[in-house]
Amino acid sequence: MEGPGTTAEKARGLVIVFTGSGKGKTTAALGIALRACGHALRTLVIQFIKGSWLAGELEAAKQLAPNLEIIATGKGFVGIRGDDLPFSEHQKAAQEALALARNKAGTGAYDILVLDEIDNALRLGLVSLEDVLAFLRSRPVAMHVILTGRDAPPELVAAADLVTEMLDVKHPFDEGQVARRGIDF
């Protein structure tokens, strides 16, 4: 049984932005990826900032392959948490991640592409807004693209079909609690 929506609506992919100061942006994108797996749709997640940290989603993706693939391309959090890499290395990694997104989108192998933490990469100047907007305009018409991270620029919000802003109301970090496995990573 087919779900709601006309053929024309199904043919055009959505641009979705999850942004804001609150927790849950990547989690929301991964929720869509999980739902897509239930419909045998293929999702690729390219992580722009996250690097060598062991994140639970990387292990989960192995169990959901080939419908979910995650590629961590970042070099870690830029300028914090003991980061001693030159800015140029972070910038090079982010630009290579955007090139990878272009390449993978062009294969036709994926229904959904998640550009995780790309809003942060934009804010930090690791990639240009013009390049990201050009990618969105040139992607396959049926491909859904989800962009996550704090501080989505107004031009990206304007280009999106759906925008959700996560609001930070209360967080255990504010009380000095550490990140928890399975909840925060």
pLDDT computed for residue 56 by the predictor: 78
Q: How confident is the model at residue 146, as a pLDDT?
A: 98
Q: What structural domains does the chain harbor?
A: 8-175 (3.40.50.300)
Question: What pLDDT does residue 7 have?
Answer: 56
Between residues 132 and 185, which one has the greater pLDDT? 132
Q: What is the pLDDT of residue 52?
A: 63
Q: Is the pLDDT of residue 10 over 70?
A: no
- The tokens 């062991």 sit on which residue? 54
The CA distance from 133 to 136, in Å, is 5
Task: Give the pLDDT score at 16.
Answer: 98
The answer to which of 1-10, 62-71, 134-143, 166-175 has the lowest mean pLDDT is 1-10
Cα pseudo-dihedral 5, 20, 185, 88, rounded to 10: 110
* pLDDT tens, position by position, 29-82: 999 999 999 999 999 999 998 776 667 788 888 999 999 999 999 877 776 667
Mean pLDDT of 74-102: 85
Q: CB of 55 within 8 A of CB of 185?
A: yes
> pTM of this prediction?
0.89
The 43-47 sheet, strands edge to edge: 68-72, 43-47, 112-116, 144-148, 15-19, 162-165
Identity of the amino acid at 178:
V
- Measure the CA–CA gap between 87 and 43, rounded to whole angstroms: 30
Closest to 48 measured CA to CA, from 113, 105, 112, 95: 95
